[in-house]
Amino acid sequence: MRITRVLGTALLALGLAAGPAAADSSPSPSASADGAAPTRAGTSFRTATELQQGQSATASASTGDYLYWSFPADTGQRPTVKATVKLPAAHGSQTWQLDVYDGLRRRQACQYGAATRTAEQGEPSVELACVLRTVRGWSEPWANDPLPGTYYARLTVVDLGSADLGKPVGVEVRADSKDIGGAAAVDGSLAKPLVPGIAAKSEDSGSGSKKAVLSSFGSDDGWSSGWWSDRWVWTAIGGLLAALAGIGGYALTRGSGRPSRVPPTM
């Protein structure tokens, strides 16, 4: 009975400990519906249009333009960028490409998805996707690991006939992410997330003139603080289960406490 009570208490503690971990592993919330979706795209890193995760942006452009958007990604997230290009009714074969860069403007490899696709003659649209590696809290200076901060999505056509150059196209881009949690945690963190560059917005400096400001994603608020992750919860759970296994093994092997055979008397 005592062992049963111990096991019951341990299972209750296990459920309470796993609760925060399950909450942390839920997908990131979508962008607020109060903010209007962007309807344009930037033409360079410096003028990239800001895009929140879970938010779709649209833009009208000409075939051959370089289109840029930026979005935030935090530690433990696995970002996914999707783009749909609506092509004109009459067009030849053309190849589109979606590239994603981190805050240091290093091109990040796609772990999954078709980031380069060809639309054959007459196809109405082409869809592209890029699933990045999980964002790490810290990395070696020589590594190309994704780090928390601003990410840039660039969309452009890389192969087409000269007759299609300059034709109007419609574009829709969306950035999402999956929260991987403590499975991707590392022992270290950046002092500040990588939020470089100048955003395509301005604020009043107080003197009536306008001045450029940093990206409004916020380099001080809303980012992971560093050492805590749900892997601490699972480490504690592992230690608890090991202790229970030791208690159970001892209870099963210690016997009744009396010798199994009484020695003969002299």
Residue 65 contacts residue 88 (beta carbons within 8 Å): no
pLDDT tens by residue, 203-241:
444 554 444 444 555 544 445 544 555 555 667 777 888
> pLDDT band at residue 86, thresholds of 50, 70 and 90?
very high
DSSP string, 28-67: PPPPPTTSPPP---BSSSTTPEE--TTEEEEEEEETT--E
Angle 225-231-234 from CA coordinates, rounded to 5°: 145
Question: Can you tell me the mean pLDDT for 148-172?
Answer: 93
pLDDT surpassing 80 at residue 193: no
d(CA 114, CA 104): 23
d(CA 177, CA 81): 8
Query: Could you tell me what percent of the chain has a pLDDT over 90?
Result: 40
Of 75, 249, 38, the closest CA to residue 153 belongs to 38
Write the CB contacts of 23 (distance below 8 Å, at least 6 apart in sequence). none
> pLDDT band at residue 256, thresholds of 50, 70 and 90?
low
Here the tokens at position 253 are: 């092997």
Give the pLDDT confidence score for residue 240 in this predicted structure: 82
Residue 199 contacts residue 152 (beta carbons within 8 Å): no
d(CA 72, CA 194): 10
**Residue 176, strand partner residues:** 80
Backbone angles phi, psi at 55, to 5 degrees: -115, 140
Here the tokens at position 69 are: 């958007």
State the average pLDDT for the chain.
75
d(CA 112, CA 129): 8
Residue 157 contacts residue 96 (beta carbons within 8 Å): yes
Give the pLDDT confidence score for residue 141 in this predicted structure: 75
